[in-house]
Amino acid sequence: MRWLKRLGLGLLVVVLVLAALWTWSRLNGPTPEQRAALAVLEAPNAFEGRNAFDAVWLLRYDVPEAEIASVADADMAALSSAPALRSLEPQSIANMRYADLQPDRSTPLTHCQIAGEPCLALVRSDTDGYAALVEANRKLIARVEALAQYDHLASRLPVRVDGPIPPFSLLAWPLTAHAVAFTQGDRLAAVDATCRALSTTRRLGANSDLLISRVHFTRLVTEGYGRLLADMLVELPADIALPDSCAAAVSAPTEIEASVCPALRGEFALGQRVAQQMASDEVGEWLVFDQHGYAAMAADRVGQGCTDAAAEALRLDRRFVSEDARPFFSRFECIANSAGCILSDIAGPAYDGYVRAGQDHYARLQLVGTLAWLRAQPAEGALSERLARRPDGLRSAARDITVSADGRALQIAQYDTRQQENWSLPLPAYLVESTAAAD
């Protein structure tokens, strides 16, 4: 009995110590660093000008411009009140009132894709067929081109676990139209339209509050319009001046074009609201999960791209690597929020790739700008010497633009190597060194 009493007393002491640690952990809450990260991610994005969300949401419908806002308002209200677990396809009341511009998928030809055969080559494989395809979808293409009047894209979608995705895939349709115009001989007009589209997508991609929209727009910038412009310049004689619209399109990138912080803010806010919706009221959950504490932990992990360290990495173009989270067992805040620690640790590392992709986007824009800059320079000295004279805004402090092994392209190494090690654009014949041309 004496030993049982000692054992019981020992267990009581352990329980009291654990209860004290749990209480102190819960009362102490997030660390100062986590609170600071939460403040950064909860700060609103300072977007200015017109929001393109309503226009993107309704791209597939022939809605008059004056009615776009009211139709989108009605759609957002309907989504807010709709039952959960419905289709992820965007649903709109416009479907009952306006013509549907969704392209006919039964046709043998498909429009130029962001990742696929180069657009000019694809169009030349059946110029008449692609010209007809463009004509059949002229209204849709015009609606995409009308996005030039907008300044940013901030999501208005209600928070839902099964939230729909706007029709971003339609954004690439003008590529085909510009390629058709170029192959039919209207070259300068096609270059002008491509440069204007490049400027629009650069602006909307940089000023977007969700990762999915930023990814769509930034890929369209470089893999879409940037590559199409490069292919056009290969065929455009050097003595033909580029349209005025190209000056802004190929200008040196800005800091905001490299940073994914605005998108991370929106992504974090969406994730937190979804987590609140999914939180259960089961007895005992409060012992292992604290919503506010989890928010601060998640902010510390998701917000790595918004830190001073990330800003320094972007400024120096040094490959970004986030700080490793301290082990679960060494964090005092995890005692009263073990589930929150586990969830935040799982999500955190996934965002590093997006930060590095932002660095690569910046470098790709420098490559596009360099190609256009070289075109306007006198052909004096070797290509490597001319590259060394380019403006500072088109240079990287850590990785340089190089000439490919065959001398026919410019390339730059990528930090996000999930898709490719290097990104390249073709050189016009007048920029190819004589040794490469002779091969």
Model pLDDT, residue 438: 46
Q: 3-state DSSP call for residue 339?
A: helix
Residue type, 100: D
437, pLDDT greater than 70? no
Highest mean predicted confidence (pLDDT) among 26-30, 111-115, 292-296, 410-414? 410-414
For 205-262, the pLDDT digits (tens) are 999 998 999 999 999 999 999 999 999 999 999 989 999 999 999 999 999 999 999 9
Which helix (H) or strand (E) element contains residue 121? helix 119-124
Highest mean predicted confidence (pLDDT) among 25-34, 69-78, 103-112, 270-279? 69-78
Q: How far apart are the C-alpha atoms of 300 and 323, rounded to whole Å?
A: 10
Length reported for the chain = 439
28, pLDDT greater than 70? no
23, pLDDT greater than 90? no
Model pLDDT, residue 87: 52
For 348-392, the pLDDT digits (tens) are 667 888 999 999 999 999 999 999 999 988 878 889 889 999 999
275, pLDDT greater than 90? no
When pLDDT is cut at 50, 70 and 90, the band that residue 433 belongs to is: confident
Report the candidate in 247, 254, 256, 239 with the shortest Cα–Cα distance to residue 378: 239
In the chain, % of residues over pLDDT 70: 79
Residue 117 phi/psi, 5-degree rounding, is -60, 140
288, pLDDT greater than 80? no
Mean pLDDT of the chain: 85
Do 340 and 31 form a contact (C-beta atoms < 8 A)? no
Residue type, 317: D
Model pLDDT, residue 297: 73
Predicted TM-score (pTM) of the model is 0.87
Q: What are the DSSP calls for 380-391, one per residue?
A: -S-HHHHHHTS-
25, pLDDT greater than 70? no
Q: How far apart are the C-alpha atoms of 204 and 151, rounded to whole Å?
A: 6
102, pLDDT greater than 70? yes
**Residue 29 contacts by C-beta under 8 Å, 6 or more apart in sequence?**
35, 290, 292, 293, 296, 333
